[in-house]
Structure 1
Amino acid sequence: MDAVGQVRSFVTRFDQWRCGQRKHPNAKPPRLTSSTKTFPSLYGSQCAKINTDASYAFIKVRWQNDWIWMGFGLKGTCRFRGKGKAKSPLLVFKGRQWQLSLPEQFEPPKPVKGAPERVLAVDVGINTAASWAVVDAQGTVHARGFISRTDKDREYRLMARIRQAAKKHTRHGSRLPSSFCRRDHQRLTHLADNQAHQISRQLVNLALDHHCQAIAVENLKGWRPKAGKKRTPMKARFHRWFHRQLVTRIGSKAVEVGLRCVAVYARGTSRHAFDGSGPVKRDKGNYSQCTFSSGKRYHADLNAAYNIAARGHVFFQGGQRKQTARMSSQTPAHAPRTPVTLSSLWQQGV
C-alpha cells in the first residue's frame, strides 16, 4: 500500500504538470523514484517473533530461494516494552546497521482535574538551557535549579569551524553555496535534537519527583531573535537556539506520564520582579543577573521562572485573581493591567 500511494502521487503530480499546473513555467516534470526511505513492516507472528525481554528475535527472511526463520540478537532497552499492546515491529536501516523498532500502544494516565497544587515552571535560555522552579498555589517555592547543555564544547567547536571556513570562502567576495559545511550543520542539528530529548526528560522527571501536577513553559512560538550583530557568535547562537524543540519535547513527554502542560504569555516574565516591586534592570557585564527597584540583586532566569509558574497557576485557576488598585473598576479602561508575577499568588492568600 505504501508503494501504491507513491505511484498514485506521482501520477497525480505528472498529470498536473502536463495540464500546465506548475509553480514555474520552465519546471521539469516530476520523477518517480524508489529511494523513499520507507522500511518494511514485520507483521506480528507472521514475519517476526520476539521473546519477552526483547533480547532475541526470529525474523522471516528469504535465503537460498526459501523463506526461513533466522535468529538475531537485539541490543538496547525498550522504554515502553510491556506497558501496552505490542504492535507490528518495523525493520529500519539507520547509518550502517539495521534496527528493529518495537512500537507499543498504551493509554497514558489521565491528568488530575482541577487546579494543580504544584507547578514546575521552565524558563528556556541561551547561556543556561533551562531554569526550573517548583511553586505551589500559595506562591511558595519548594525547589529550583538550572540545567545546562552537556555538549557545549562540541557545539562551539563546530560553530567555530564553520566561521573559519566561511571567512576563507568569502575573503575574495565569493558567496557561500547552499550546501556549505553541510556535515557540520547536520551534526549541530543532531546535537540539538539529542539535547532537547535529554533536557526534557530531566525536567519531566523533576516534576514527578516533586509531586507536580502540571508544567508551565513560555509561549515563544513565532519568536525571532534580534540580538547580536551580523557575523558574530551571538547571532549564530541565537540562530541555533532550540527553544521550540525543547518545549515540544516537554509537552509530549508530559502527556506520557499524565502531566498537564501549558504555554503561558512570555512577555514581561523577565522584565518584572517576582516580588511585585516593578521592572528590573539587567547587568550589562553579566546579563544573567538583574537588580530590582528595591536594590535587591537576583538571578534573572530564576526570576522569570517564578513569574512563569504564577501565570501557570492563574491559567489553571481560570484566570481569577483578586483585583489590585490598578485593576479596580474605578480606574479607566485604558489603564495598564498589573503584570502577573509571583506576588499575585501571595495576594490570593491574603
Structure 2
Amino acid sequence: MDKILKNMEHDSSIDKSEVFTTSDEIAERFKDQIKGKTILITGVSPTSIGAALALSLSAYSPSLLILASRSAPKIATTISQIHTQHPSVPLRALELDLASLSHVTAAAHSLANLPKIDILINNAGIMAPPFSRSEDGFESQFAVNHLGHFQLTRVLLPQLRAGGGGGRVVNVSSVGHHAGGVRFEDYNFGEGGERYKKWEAYGQSKSANVLMAVALNARGVRAWAVHPGAVETGLVKEDTREEVEALLRDAPDIEMKTPKQGASTVLMAALDPGLTDFAYLEDCKISQAAEHATDPELAERLWKLSEELVDSKL
C-alpha cells in the first residue's frame, strides 16, 4: 500500500486541467476517430469508468458499442442511461464473467459475426478482496483482472487485426502496479493463499495489464495501458473501503476524480491517432510505468505463461 501511495502523489507542477479533463472533452476532440467504429468495453456498471466511456462515445456515431459485464441487469441500466441521451446509438449487451475462462471464451466466440472490432477497452476489474480462487483455480485478481481479459483479447485478435490499420486495445491498469510484479513461480500466493497479500496481488494483476499491452505490440497489435487516477466508482468494496479512505486521508494532495474524469485518459489511449507505439498513460499524457511492468522479456514470459494457464483449463 505504501508503494501505491508514494506513486499516487502528483507533481505540483502538473497542469490541473490535464488531471481533470473529462471523457466528453476527449471524445469531442477525437470525434472523427469514433464515427463508424465498433467498440467493446468491459465493466460497464452504471457508476463505473466503463459506463462513462460508453456515454461519451455514444455522442459521436459509433457503428456499434458492445457493453460487457457479468451482470445483465447492470448492462441494462447502463443501456437505458445511454438511450436516454442518445436513443439511436446501436448497442449490444454481452454477458461476460471474467472469472470463468470457459464463459469468456464462449462470450468472445458469440461475436464471431462481427467482421471487425476497432477498439477493445479492457476496463473491468476487482481490487484487493479477501483471498479466493476463480472457477478455474486461479487467485481471483489474477484471474479477473488479467487472465479473463487475456483470453478475451486472444480470441478477438483476428477481428482486431481486420480493421483498416488494425484495431486498438486499451488495458485499464493502475498506479497500483507499483505494489508488485508478476510472481511467475507463485502467482496464486501459495496452494491455499497462505502467502496472500491483497495489495501485492492487486499489483501483480495490474502489472500483468501493462505487460500484456507490451506483448500485444510485439505481435503487431496496437495496445496501451492506462492509470485512470483515483476514481469514485463501485470498485472499492466494504472490506477494503476503510483502508482506502485512510490512505486518502493520509495523502491530502490526492484528489478524487469522477468516472468521466477517470475515463478521459482511457479515451486518449483509444482514440488519439498521434499515439503509435506502446505507452503507459496517466492524466491524458504519457507517463512512466515501473520497469517490472514494461520489460519486453517479462512481457513474453507472461504471454507464454498465460497461454499455458488458459489452455490447460479449456
Please give the TM-score of this superposition, normalised by the length of structure 2. Answer: 0.32
Which structure features the higher share of helix residues? 2
Structure number with greater CO (CA < 8 Å, separation at least 6) is 2
- Larger strand share, 1 or 2: 1
Normalising by structure 1, report the TM-score: 0.29
- Structure 1 or 2, whichever has the larger Rg, is 1
